[in-house]
Structure formats: structure tokens, C-alpha cells
Structure 1
Amino acid sequence: MSLRATARIAADADGSLPVLTSDGPLALRRTRAAVPGWTRVTVVGAMSAPLGGDRLAIETEVRDGARLRVDSAAATLALPGRSPEPAAYELRLRVGGDAVLRWLPEQLVSAHGSDLRVRTDVDLAPTACLVLREEQVLGRHGEPPGTLVSRLAVRRAGAPLLDQELAYGPGASGGWDGAAVLGGHRATGQLLVVDPAYEGAPPPARPLGESAALTPLAGPAVLVTAVAPDALALRRILDAALDELAPE
């Protein structure tokens, strides 16, 4: 039987969490923040999910002036299920005025035979800051990937800042594994940093080593995209970019 579950987080500027609601496989835990003035929530998987046909979501509201870090205790593993329908995993993030959200989960692993649709919707106030990391590992060791479609849509002050969709695996159109996309790599990811301080003077576009690039967006934001042979190499690339662009 397919699961339907929505977990919810709301953070206030005083460090409180007036809403912290777990649901189904999405267990939320308040954990100790490494930096004073921040609130931290860790997502702990309570069971195997998402499976085929599951519908999971996390809704997060960072209220005016709050500083929230959300991470996860382990990688998310997309697995095949009894249902032939694809699984869906939605993230709905809202960041208020002078608020900061650092969304830094562990990797999403697309196991062979799985079919997952991920959608991340972000709404930012004009003075909000965002650090968002996505990492996808296409297949476990020695296996081909499942089908993974991931869409990221970010709005700032109601206007589009970024809207992109990526698709990998047997259900994607041809060329996803070609030289112009992954070039044989099996780990891919991106780091999005939105900061009003970039208004008018974002970091310049440039390569970051041999398999990553930094691109300024049409707004106070930069996007780092990377491919790598494995999850560890990908994390090293994105961690270096995070240390440069958004040190905590």
C-alpha cells in the first residue's frame, strides 16, 4: 500500500519551533546547532521510502528573522515498490524577511527499478537568504540507476529566480548519460546560494575544477553545478563551494 505523508516545520526568530510535526517515514528531530543563534532540524528516516506510488512532502516556514538549518541523518534511498506509479517527494520552502534557510540534506540515491519525481518549490522574501544543496547518486554500487526527475523552482519577491528540471535514467529522454550531460559520471548535484548582498555584484562565472561550474543568476544568486564519479567526490566539490560562497 502506498504512503501519504507530510511533515511540517516552522521556525521563529527566537529559536523556537512552534511547528515540528513528523509523519510516516519522515521523522523530524530538533538537534544541536553548531553555530549560536541558529535552529537545527534533522530529518530521520523512520522506514524505507519513497517506494513506488508513495507521496511524501516536507513543508518548511522560516519566519521573519529566523535562522534555520535542515539536514538529514542519512541518504534518501528511492526504491521500487509494488505500485507501478512513480513516487513523489515534494519540498515546499518559505523564507521570510531577514530570515536564512540552509537546506543541506544527504544524498538522494536512485536505486535500480525505482521511479521518483522530486519537486522543490521555494518562495523567498526580498531580504531572505537561502543555501540549498541537492545531490543525486544514480544507482547503488555496481547497478544502473532508476528513473529520477527533479524540478527546482525558486521565486523571490514573487518573481521567478530559477526554474529547472533534470531527468536521468531509463525513463528520461536520450542523451542524459552522454558527454554533454553526465559524461559517464554517476553523481551529480548543485548548490544554490541566494543572498541580497549579491545584488548588483554576484561572483563571476567560472569553472570550479574539471567537473563543476559557478553561474551567476539574474538576481542576487549563484548556482554551482557539478558531476563526479561518486558521492564522496561530489560532496568535496560542493563543500568547497559552500565554504567559499556561504561560510557559516
Structure 2
Amino acid sequence: MTTAGVRATARIGARADGRGGTALPVLEGEGPLALRRTRASGDEARVMLVGAMSGPLGGDRFAVEAEVGEGARLHVGSAAATIALPGQAKGEARYDVRLDVSGGGELRWLPEQLISAQGSDLYVSSRVELRSGARLVFREEQVLGRVGEQPGRLTSRLTVRLDGRPLLDQELSCGPGAPGGWDGPAGLGGHRALGQLVVVRPEFESEPPQARLLGEYAALMPLAGPAALVSALAPDALRLRRVLDEALRTLDR
């Protein structure tokens, strides 16, 4: 593996401003990772992640870090899908997401899809640290290949912890070189869009959501803690988003 490639980190810090809103004392982007504050909604601050360059490409190392303080509310989206591309440098690219939410804080992490283009090799690591009383909506959507092409290699690990104890820790690998069976009946079954939604709410401790199917290829499952996981497969990104949006409306009630 080569060390060539772009290194870039974006950092967001959200704090209650003492007037019923949320301030952003930290809003820093580097290179291809630009951050833009958008119009707020009530007491929620909104930030858009804007890709200023193509990527991640082979050998790149991107990271996004967000910290939400007590009483703060932060919504993070992205202006467009992220496309993993092969690039000229050989080797695996990495995209690390590190999120930290204090008790009484709320984070809605709702970026656009990640597309694994043919010939790319990307490892995505998302780690979420929560304190008691924190609220979280975390959406992750991945599309294997652009229209008419085969996917690249994509490995994704998601870890969510509450007060240091694991709520969810899972890893998925797809594409050329991935362990056998990833696209078989016990894996993706030929689908090219996959996603998950993690919702953490203190009230789920006493009233957890009921496990149920959400269509033919999606399911809602309560986790061992005040959290729920929705996992979904779909033929394309549009139908995947519809399933996850409907699931979120159900859990937001």
C-alpha cells in the first residue's frame, strides 16, 4: 500500500448558545472537505459538507469529526453524493467519520449516498460516541457502481457506543476481493443499493420500537439499548432513500 494521496480533515463543534439556539464555535474544512453553515431551523444548527474536489481517490485519507455539546442540536448533510474513484495512486483510500454527542445533545447525520465506482478501493469507518440522554439519527447509504458499471471494493464499519458500551458494531465488505458470498442470497442478493438508519432516543429505553418488516428487503430492529436499527436493500439509490425516509418518519413520531 502506498502513502501517496490527499490528507484532509473537517471539524465541527456545536454548543448551546444560551439563547435557545446552537452556536458553531468550530467549523473548519481542509482541501476537498469544505463546510458551509446553512439556514438554521429553530434551535438546530445546520451544516452542509461540500466536496471541493473529486474523491476520495486511491491513497486518500479523509476524515470528518463532529462534537455536539449538552443542549446543542446539529444537522449535518452533504451537497452531493460522495464518489469513491480509483485515481492514479494505487492503494486503499480511507474515509473516517468520528462523532461525539453529549447528554442532552442531538445529532442528525444525513449525508447523501456514497458511490463505489469501478476500480476504487475504499474503507469507511464510522464511530459514534454517545452519552446518556443523547439523541442520534445516523443514515448511511451505499451504492455499488454507477449506472452500467461494476462496483469497486468497499468495506464499511459502523460502531455506535453509549457511555462506552456498544450499541452496534458491524462491518460489511463488498465488491472485487471481498469475502465470497457478499452478493449471494445470504448477502445482497443482487441488489446494488444498501443502507441503514440508526436512531437513538432516551424514550426508547421504556418504549422500544417493535421489530417489523418494512417492505420486502428492509427491517426495523430494536437494539439492546435505547436505539433502533433499520437495514435496507434496494435496486437503486432512489428506492433505498424512499424506504429509509419512511422508516425515519415512523421513528420520529
TM-score where L is the length of structure 1: 0.97
DSSP-derived class of the 1:16 partner: strand
SS of residue matched to 1:12: strand
Mapped pair 1:123 → 2:126: no
Matched, 1:82 2:94: no
* Counterpart position of 1:102: 108
SS of residue paired to 2:203:
helix
CA contact (8 A) 1:64 1:97 kept: yes
Counterpart of 2:211 in structure 1 is 205
> 1:29 is matched with which residue?
36
Residues 139 and 146 in structure 1, CA contact (< 8 A), matched pair in contact too: yes
Does residue 151 in structure 1 map to residue 151 in structure 2? Answer: no
The DSSP-based 3-state class of the residue aligned with 2:146 is coil
Task: State how far apart, in whole Å, the 2-side matches of 1:102 and 1:26 are.
Answer: 19
- Runs of 5+ consecutive residues of structure 2 not aligned to the other structure: none
1:216 and 1:223 in contact (8 A); partners too: yes
The secondary structure found in structure 1 opposite 2:16 is coil
1:20-99 alignment, distance < 5 Å? 20-33=27-40, 35-99=41-105
Unaligned runs of 5+ in 1: none
- Aligned-pair distance for 1:81? 1.7
Encode CA deviations 1:79-136: one digit per residue, 9 max, x unaligned. Answer: 0022221000000000011000000000000000000000001100111000000000
Distance in 2 (alpha carbons) for counterparts of 1:98 and 1:235: 28
Amino acid at match of 1:94: D
The separation in 2 between residues aligned to 1:175 and 1:202, in whole angstroms, is 33
**What is the aligned-residue RMSD (CA, Å)?**
0.9
C-alpha separation in 1, matches of 2:174 and 2:89: 20
Q: Work out the number of aligned pairs and report it.
A: 246
CA positional deviation for 1:171: 2.1
Range 1-10 or range 68-77, more displaced: 1-10
Is 1:131–1:246's contact at 8 Å kept on the other side of the alignment?
no
* Shift in Å, 1:201: 2.4
Aligned to 1:217: 223
Partner of 1:5: 8
Partner of 1:187: 193
The AA in structure 1 aligned to 2:13 is A
**Counterpart Cα distance in 1 of 2:186 and 2:137:** 27
